[in-house]
Amino acid sequence: MSEDKLDTDRRVHVKVVLLGQTRAGKSCLMKRYIDDNFYGDQVASVGCSFAARSIIVGPVELCLGIWDTCGQERYEALTRIYYQNAAAAIVCYDVTDLASFEKTSFWINELKEYNNEAAQIYLVGTKADLVEKDIKQRAVELSVVEALAKDVGAVTFETSSKTGENIKTLFQKIAEDFVSMGLHRKKRVKSIKLHQNTPTEDSIGLSKKSGCRCTGGNKEKTETS
C-alpha cells in the first residue's frame, strides 16, 4: 500500500497515557479534547478511564487511545499496568501548584521503569488561564520546566482546558511525532470502530469515584492535518 494514499481499511492504534498528581487537570484535559467542552466540577479518576479519537496525519489514520490514570498514591501500583505499550505519555502539572510539578519526576521515572517501550514524553502545564488572569498565581516557572524537559527529552506545553488553549495542538503534535518517527509502520492494525468494545469503568472494576475540582465522552471524531 502506497504511503501517499490514505489506507481507509486500516487504522494505527496509538496508546497515550495521562499521568500526574490528583487535581492536576488530567481528566479535564482529556474531556476538552474529546468533547470540546469544559467541566468545572470533575470527579477524580479511580484506576483509569478511556476515550479515543481518530486523527489523520498525511496518508495515515491514527486512533489515539487515551488512558486517564489516577494520580492518588494508593492507586499507584494499579496505575502501572496502564503504562505498558504506551507510545506517548502526557505528564501533567498545575502551573499554580509547585508540588504537582515536583511530582512529575516521579511519574517520569515510573513510566521509564514500567513501560516496555520508549514513550515520547509531553510535559504539560494545565490551568494556564488562571495565570493569564493573575500572573501572581504562577508557581512553576517556564525555565524550570524547560530544564527538566531537556534532561528527560520531553516536549513542553502549557494548556487551559477552560479556554481550550493548546489542547488540540498538543494532541496534533503527538500524532505528528508518532508518524514522523515512523512508528506507524510498526503498528498497523485492522480498522476498528473507536467505541466498539471500549472498556468501561465497570468492566475493569473502576466504578467508584472520589470528588475533586478541576479549573482549567466518548464520541467518534476525525481530524485531518
pLDDT at 211: 31
- The string of pLDDT tens digits covering residues 126-172 is 999 999 999 999 999 999 999 999 999 999 999 999 999 999 999 99
Q: Give the CA distances from residue 208 to residues 19, 46, 149, 160, in Å, rounded to whole numbers and listed in that order.
A: 19, 7, 34, 27
Give dist(CA 88, CA 64) in Å, integer. 10
Q: Is the pTM of this model over 0.85?
A: no
State the number of CA atoms in the 13 A half-sphere of 136 facing the CB. 0
- The string of pLDDT tens digits covering residues 46-100 is 557 899 999 999 999 999 999 998 755 556 666 788 888 999 999 999 999 999 9
- The string of pLDDT tens digits covering residues 87-130 is 999 999 999 999 999 999 999 998 989 887 789 999 999 999 99
Give dist(CA 132, CA 138) in Å, integer. 9
Residue 5 has pLDDT above 70, yes or no: no
> Which CATH number, 3.60.10.10, 3.30.565.10, 3.40.50.300, 3.40.50.10800, labels domain 10-224?
3.40.50.300
Contact (CB, 8 A) for 93 and 126: yes
